[in-house]
Structure 1
Amino acid sequence: MNEIAQTITSTAAPTPIVTRERVAVALLFFLNGLVIGAWAPKIPFFSQSLGLTELMLGVMIFVFGVGSLVLMPIAGMQIARYGSRRVVEITTILFIPTIVLVTLVDNLWTGAVAIFLFGGLTGAMDVAMNANAVEVERKMRRSIMSSCHAFWSLGGLCGAATGGFLIASIGVVGHVLLLAAVCLVLFLVARPMILSDAPHPSDEQARAKLPMTPLPWLIGTIALFCMIPEGTVLDWSALYLRNELNASTEMSGFAFAAFSLTMAVCRFAGDFIRDRFGAVNTLRFCGVAAIIGLVMAGQSSSVTFALIGFAITGIGISNMVPIAFSAGGNIPGLAPGVGLSVVTTMGYSGILFAPSLIGFVAEHTSLSSVYTAIPALLIVVLALSRLARHADRASGH
């Protein structure tokens, strides 16, 4: 019996921490984050080149969100049909040129089409690389999702931190051409190592059956209210520093860079922190940190103080979304794919659509007021924080 037990244990033992497939999916997350991070300091130039008011920029960001929510479910259906490897390859190679496209547009309508494709292919690639990460987790029998999202944040940090300097040094067009070339190299390195997976047609059927119990929707609300601040920092922080705190072009990108740096570090440590303190306590600590950081950024009278606020916000937001996603996938009596689909859709709608509404608000108030008011959403998250206990069930699988 002992020999049989040892055999079973050895068979179920996790694979090495680093594998080719894990490196590949980490590179994909980094690539996506790099482009999105580089987009942050480009937003003021995009707005200026098209002559957009804050209200009109809000509409453009709304179009970005529409693109994502249109192409994300299409990507999901194609993953069910062909597997995540094929879809992630196609979406990545289509996604890379879109950052060039949004730079070259010179009128409102082509700008709208370009940002629709940019947002749509961002979302489609996001779905595909997350699906591939799940398959890598299954093969490795080891949790890697938190670190994958950490690599996304690391990419965002690199894109945002270098964007302002590169734009000032080689111009807007030179910056995106260099960015596209780097992304193409990253993709070509990752491609041979991407895990090939079988199609899962049953996943599509499972997602089609929406749950009637309130629990997944409440956990989805947590994800929604955690991702709204993230989207607001991504899309509006550079404009906030530049227009309201008189930051230079080089400094404007550092808001999202500071946010991404602390988020990346805390996500790499996220699994350990959650195991040590539990999902509920971790969510509560993160919520309080995010509230403090956003209020600091919103009430700041200097660029330096605002950057510190955005960095603290990154600490707070870092592990809130992974906890919400884990909880959604571990709801008792509910298939993981069903609960997770509700939570992820609600969460991503926050990061995609809410920032566009910020434009309408900022038009009549200020971005300072926006960053000061958004913590009210995180107070709701704190009120629902007990639901995060379902995330701890993941450690029992």
Structure 2
Amino acid sequence: MHTSAASIPRHSSFSFAQAQQFALPLLFTLFGLIMGSWAGRIPALAERVHVSHSALSMVLLCGGLGAVVSYPISSFLMGRFGARKTLLVSGMALLGVLVAIGMAPTVPRLMLAVLFLGITASTFDVAINSAATKREKQTGKSELSFLHGLGCAGGLAGATLGSLMASLKIAPATHFMMLAGPLALLLWAAYSMLDIEDEAEQVEKKSFSLPRGPLALLGLLGFLGSMSEGSIADWSGVFLKEHFGASDGLAPLALSAFSVMMLLSRLVGDKLKLRFGAQRLVTIGALVSASGLFFAVLSPNAYVALAGFAIAGLGLSLLFPFVFSAAGAQGPAALAAVASMAYSGSLMGPPVIGAVAHYVGMQAAIGYVGGLSLVIAMVASRTRLLK
């Protein structure tokens, strides 16, 4: 046990042991809250620097690019300091970057800040997932689905807070500065409570690593899963608006329906994994997701389509927790490589869907995402590392 635990007096060890249980849940919720806060203020940030739709997609692309090139940074930090210190360093840097995004006065500076958001966010993500898979190994208990569910809840809270701040006409810079201080204190508290060894991890020295062998299928699942999630996040509301003429109030509910079902499913995912196994759940879930998306495409109106997106959220919900858990069980290098491949999917997904929508229409674009779910089911059924 590391020094922070050792320095606690004996009589309080029971309460400290209880507090340790909250460290990882708190870290995942914080991560969701930070990313949800950023996503919720994208329209206000775009308006502030007078950015067009096409330029905004370039700004968002910088975030995905940062995530993809983060592999050498996360590998170096994990190799030098271990998961616990890496999550503290990258988490504090992420909060600093969030404030910088709020204050960016021009489009080039916003692009630079969003690039750093991609780097720091994915490094933090790899570190907390590595810490969580270590805990799973120590305890023999599956908990990654529940933790990813808390990340979802944090994301919803962050986005809701963002829309509240926007309605109160509070500028993103002020909003992010109000968040950064309290969240930095919570991050430090979670870091102090986290009970995992501080030893450095042996990670290969490469600028970018593609998973090989059986790991390649996990990487492909991560790639297809993040491509699907990113596309639904960015385009489901546009689909409701363009195809059904949904109002500005109704259109964002597609993402809400998707996210809420994803959250609810992840909260019980670990228990389901014990009973049915990860491979079966991800395979069947992908088929459920495909049926939900095809249902949305063929719906007679926007309200029925919302149910389709909710079904898709239920179907895709367990892919990420189980893929990250399986990759983390193979060590931090495997986890970082699979995460890099997954992030490249989130980078490529939305622009590809945009191109499909441009040439063939919005209905075909959402149908294409449904097709991706069928490919996920096929790959998952052959992935031996999913247990």
TM-score calculated relative to the size of structure 1: 0.80
> Could you say which residue in structure 2 is the equivalent of 1:3?
none
> Could you say which residue in structure 2 is the equivalent of 1:391?
386
Q: How does 1:90-105 map to 2 (within 5 A)?
A: 90-105=89-104
For 1:307 and 1:227, the matched residues in 2 are separated by 20
Query: Does 1:378 find its partner at 2:373?
Result: yes
For 1:304 and 1:360, the matched residues in 2 are separated by 26
* Percent identity between the two aligned chains: 28
Query: Retained in 2: the 8 A contact 1:150–1:263?
Result: yes
Query: Does 1:354 find its partner at 2:310?
Result: no
For 1:126 and 1:345, the matched residues in 2 are separated by 11
For 1:238 and 1:180, the matched residues in 2 are separated by 29
Deviates more, 1:93-102 or 1:338-347: 338-347
Query: Retained in 2: the 8 A contact 1:157–1:256?
Result: no
Q: How does 1:17-36 map to 2 (within 5 A)?
A: 19-36=18-35
For 1:360 and 1:59, the matched residues in 2 are separated by 14
Q: CA deviation at 1:259?
A: 2.4
> Could you say which residue in structure 2 is the equivalent of 1:64?
63
Q: CA deviation at 1:62?
A: 1.6
> Could you say which residue in structure 1 is the equivalent of 2:266?
267
Q: How does 1:1-397 map to 2 (within 5 A)?
A: 19-173=18-172, 174-195=174-195, 197-204=197-204, 213=213, 215-237=214-236, 253-298=252-297, 304-328=303-327, 336=331, 339-364=334-359, 367-392=362-387
Query: Retained in 1: the 8 A contact 2:82–2:201?
Result: no
- Give the aligned residue type for 2:222: A
How big is each residue's C-alpha offset from its partner over 1:273-325, in whole Å with a ceiling of 9 and x where there is no partner?
12222333312321122113333445567554444333222111111223334
Q: Secondary structure at the match of 2:54?
A: helix
Q: CA deviation at 1:141?
A: 4.2
Question: RMSD of the alignment, in Å?
Answer: 3.3
How many residue pairs are counted as aligned between the two chains? 372
> Residues 356, 208 of structure 1: CA spacing in aligned structure 2 closer, same or farther, 3 A cutoff?
closer
Q: CA deviation at 1:267?
A: 1.2
Q: Structure 1 unaligned segments of length 5 or more: list them.
A: 1-14, 393-397
Query: Retained in 2: the 8 A contact 1:206–1:338?
Result: no
How big is each residue's C-alpha offset from its partner over 1:239-268, in whole Å with a ceiling of 9 and x where there is no partner?
556677666666555443332222122112
How big is each residue's C-alpha offset from its partner over 1:158-208, in whole Å with a ceiling of 9 and x where there is no partner?
122343233113434354344435533532442321335333342336999
Query: Retained in 1: the 8 A contact 2:71–2:207?
Result: no
Q: CA deviation at 1:55?
A: 3.1
Query: Retained in 1: the 8 A contact 2:28–2:128?
Result: yes
Q: CA deviation at 1:69?
A: 2.0
Deviates more, 1:87-96 or 1:71-80: 71-80
For 2:131 and 2:148, the matched residues in 1 are separated by 13
Q: CA deviation at 1:78?
A: 0.9
How big is each residue's C-alpha offset from its partner over 1:39-67, in whole Å with a ceiling of 9 and x where there is no partner?
33323333344444443322222211111
For 1:165 and 1:317, the matched residues in 2 are separated by 28
For 2:243 and 2:184, the matched residues in 1 are separated by 36
> Residues 52, 46 of structure 1: CA spacing in aligned structure 2 closer, same or farther, 3 A cutoff?
same
> Residues 209, 95 of structure 1: CA spacing in aligned structure 2 closer, same or farther, 3 A cutoff?
closer
Q: Structure 2 unaligned segments of length 5 or more: list them.
A: 1-13
- Give the aligned residue type for 2:197: D
- Give the aligned residue type for 1:343: V
> Residues 234, 179 of structure 1: CA spacing in aligned structure 2 closer, same or farther, 3 A cutoff?
farther
Query: Retained in 2: the 8 A contact 1:163–1:253?
Result: no
- Give the aligned residue type for 1:105: A
- Give the aligned residue type for 1:152: G
